[in-house]
Chain A
């Protein structure tokens, strides 16, 4: 509502170009100004009721060109009441009553058309189809109507609609919208949106600005922003500078601005790559950390490790199903209950596997590999038989959905952030168990010197079973987290098993920190390669690099030193 007087003055020459009845309108606007100021001060209304009715009735002409002129006139005014009329016209619901030549919006119910007044929005009568005639629209008109509606949204009383419209204007960068945008800027009161509008103005003023100062000012505004959009605007401007014959100092300033925007964007790109790498790394870490215990500490090649993750994910699904009647779906509680449940279920399965299969195969790593592969096939098929081969839906709790978005194009989804946090907690937990508990002490003792440990009274078989159970249980916990980001299907484990082994082998067997470092470096390298080579090629490169790396350091990043290695 501010500066209405100026807005009218600024509007006039524009209208003179657009319409043949500019002077009439100017008079009308004075009336409208009075109405706006005195009658409805809080609404940005530019037309009087009468004026709106008159201008709408001028839509009832045969020629499309004339209709377009009227539509553009109406849109240029920015009256929020114009939008429903144009929308109705676009939808083919705008009719003229044959009896009194009134333009009405109709709503059809069966064979009866109820008439809605364009000014008041109230139902003012009804009729059959014969007493009214449609204001016809063709494809050309539809296009014009859509554009007009988009710009009209700049004046919508709804903030969300307005900011949407500003983004649309910024995307379109049609210089013809500039005058309207200027008026919208005058009326806008929301500070954030105002800044966006100024930015949108600058994107247009860059090419459409009237003099050097305006252009330089526009470049100043643009240079302070860091979005891919602005980079596109600037580079387009620089590219077209020769053809359009812009001033040299403007072009130079634009080039500088482009360079600084690009510099900041590439920094953000790197930040984004690192974040995505850490995110992938945390997933790899979760998948691999259980294996770091079974393979790394115990030396058991557990090919059924992936299936432990799968069991964890299915436990999450089961817990949600079971609690579905008590708790609302997607409740954080069901996920919180799933974590210990998955640990217990997967851990129990692990203990059973260890006692029934693996303990007969210690010291024969290759045979363990084959037997556990068999176990993994049986588990997969068991899950497939029980739950079916299709994906199961695991609900995400509210705090895990959504994302933080930066205007620079960086998107941090909450589920990824939580998984990063979760992986850190899990690793810290394992490290604490190994370091500070009696069980951890026994476990380390048995790995380092089994016979001595046995001699001092540790039940080594018992510790073996529990260690394997711990590794499996942690894989189960990983399954809870991974159920949030991947499909819960019988093949879930297969997608992670090779990656998990790569991480553990890369990091170095028997070293938890090696696994952590391995997971994060593999994740980050992968994500840095992805923009260059594409997702699949990046993965292939990482695999080849790993194969070559193992040639250099056959025992991984952090190899155990001394005789223990040869055992």
Chain B
């Protein structure tokens, strides 16, 4: 591959963008989609062969949010070796922040017609708005909170975990405990987040009806834009000097520490950034699907996010986006066509990807730098050889 940076003597940013073939394709697709898809939905007549129906826009918008979530997981897992099994928690917190704004926007159009209190609070005989609901009638505040709350949780959680050097599997297990604790907490009616029904029945966003084609197209474009921005940010982080340290931490944490780097600060930074991205994904997700409930905190969903990344190709960023699209399209297809088969497929995918496709779909495509193209058999042989080597190392 030509190194464009050397060839054209460009600024570093443009350089690492041009060096990234997958990223260029991804950004190209995102730009094209954000123009063509809404245009074909809004401008072309429904009879046209190129008309994209509104449900399709919502579906694609949902996939884009999942892709952003997968991107955030790949940033920490692929580049820093932090396997978070609780990233769904950050996603859901972002979603709740947006959901609270949308609840406040309902105003007196709810079933009980209370101008301030959401329906579920009237139903529970609450007299006034809890303090943590203040400010969520302002859009900017909700957006800030959708990033701040997941970021803060990740910062506190990461500070505690990384400082005391909780790594590997232990970290995965306590992230899972975190999202499980939040799941239980959000199921409680006393929390003031609508209990197990969550927040729903949204009416409009910034004055635009959520049901209209225009708003849906707008949300789709916003999802494309945020995915693009976050991709560039993530790519920037991984290509910077800081990114090199992250990769070093992934591969040999103790050695990096002994070299004099404060490993925990690097980890904390990237973990927090990743949580903020997940929060943005959640905030974009909620208006497009119209509901947020504690089910989003389920540990099983958080584990599923990891498989999106693994399927696409860990440590490539664009691979995570691809993986999210592949797995979620498969989910839509299977749950529609043969629901019984979906878990077989998903479970099989987990096994097959970890055994046969350690680099994911991207790694199997030669053009994307699959350095060692192998058949399945050679992969197995290599695994066994590695294991023997490991046995030696362990002893």
Contact = CB atoms under 8 A, between A and B. Distances in A.
Interface of A: 301, 303, 357, 359-363, 365-371, 373-382, 384-385, 449-452, 454, 460, 494, 498, 501-502, 505, 536-537, 539-540, 543-544, 546-548, 550-552, 554-555, 567
B256 interface: no
Q: How many B residues touch the partner, as a band?
A: 35 or more
A368 B340 CA distance: 25
B128 interface: no
Interface centre among A357, A373, A505, A548 (most CB of B within 10 A): A373
Nearest to A377: B347
A363 B384 CA distance: 11
A434 to B, nearest CB: 20
A540 B167 CA distance: 23
A373 B344 contact: no
Q: Is the interface of A mostly helix, strand, loop or mixed?
A: helix
Chain A CB within 10 A, most for which of B167, B181, B347, B387: B347
Contacts of A539: 181, 184
Contact of A366 (B83, B350, B394): B83
Contacts of B165: 554
A498 B83 contact: no
B184 A547 contact: no
Contact of B174 (A303, A374, A377, A547): A547
Nearest to B180: A498
A362 B387 CA distance: 6
Interface stretch (B8-16, B202-210, B240-248, B298-306): B298-306
15 contacts: A357-B355, A360-B383, A360-B384, A366-B83, A370-B350, A374-B351, A375-B351, A378-B344, A381-B344, A384-B340, A501-B176, A539-B181, A544-B181, A546-B174, A547-B160
A370 B384 contact: no
A380 B340 CA distance: 11
A550 B350 contact: no
A513 B95 CA distance: 42
Contact of A452 (B349, B393, B395): B395
Interface of B: 83, 157, 160-161, 163-170, 172-174, 176-178, 180-181, 184-185, 187-188, 299-300, 303, 306-307, 310, 340, 342-344, 346-351, 353-355, 358, 380, 383-384, 386-387, 390-395
Given A360-B355, A378-B344, A381-B343, A370 B307 contact: yes
A450 B343 contact: no
Contacts of A543: 177-178, 180-181, 184
B46 to A, nearest CB: 38
Contacts of A537: 188
Given A374-B346, A374-B351, A551 B188 contact: no
A548 B160 contact: yes
B112 to A, nearest CB: 26
A371 B181 contact: no
B174 A381 contact: no
B187 A451 contact: no
Nearest to A460: B391
Given A365-B169, A366-B168, A371-B351, A550 B391 contact: no
A363 B343 contact: no
B164 A546 contact: no
A381 B340 contact: yes
A371 to B, nearest CB: 4
Contacts of A361: 354-355, 383
A182 B310 CA distance: 80
Contact of A370 (B180, B310, B343, B387): B310
Given A360-B387, A498-B299, A450 B395 contact: yes
Contacts of B386: 363
Contacts of B83: 366, 369
Given A359-B387, A381-B344, A498-B177, A365 B168 contact: yes
Given A536-B188, A547-B177, A377 B168 contact: no
Given A380-B343, A539-B184, A543-B180, A371 B166 contact: no
Nearest to B299: A498
A497 to B, nearest CB: 9
Residue with the greatest number of chain A CB neighbours at <10 A, chosen from B178, B299, B344:
B344
A494 B394 contact: no
B164 A551 contact: yes
Contacts of B391: 362, 450-451, 454, 460
B169 A301 contact: yes
Contacts of B384: 360
Given A363-B394, A551-B160, A554-B166, A369 B172 contact: yes
A376 B177 contact: no
> Lowest 7 A-B CB distances belong to which pairs?
A374-B350, A377-B347, A378-B347, A451-B395, A381-B343, A363-B390, A543-B181
